[in-house]
Amino acid sequence: MLAATHAITGAIIAKVTPDPILGYALALASHPLLDYLPHWDLRTRHSRRPLQHTVVISLVDAGIGFFLGFLIAGNSVPPLRLLATMFVAQLPDWLEAPYVVFGWKFPPFSWIKSLQHTIHKKLPFPDGIYTQLILIFLLLLLSK
Binding site for Zn ion (CB under 5 A): 35, 92-93, 116
Least distance in angstroms from the C-beta of 120 to Zn ion: 7
Residue closer to Zn ion, measured from CB, 81 or 120: 120
Least distance in angstroms from the C-beta of 37 to Zn ion: 11
Return the closest-CA partner of residue 67 out of 90, 83, 55, 89: 83
Least distance in angstroms from the C-beta of 31 to Zn ion: 6
Residue closer to Zn ion, measured from CB, 16 or 119: 119
Least distance in angstroms from the C-beta of 87 to Zn ion: 13
Measure CA 7 to chain center: 5
Residue closer to Zn ion, measured from CB, 68 or 119: 119
Residue closer to Zn ion, measured from CB, 1 or 14: 1
What lies within 8 Å, CB to CB, of 10 at 6+ separation is 27, 30, 69, 85, 86, 87, 88, 89, 90
Separation of alpha carbons 122 and 110, rounded Å? 20
Separation of alpha carbons 83 and 66, rounded Å? 7
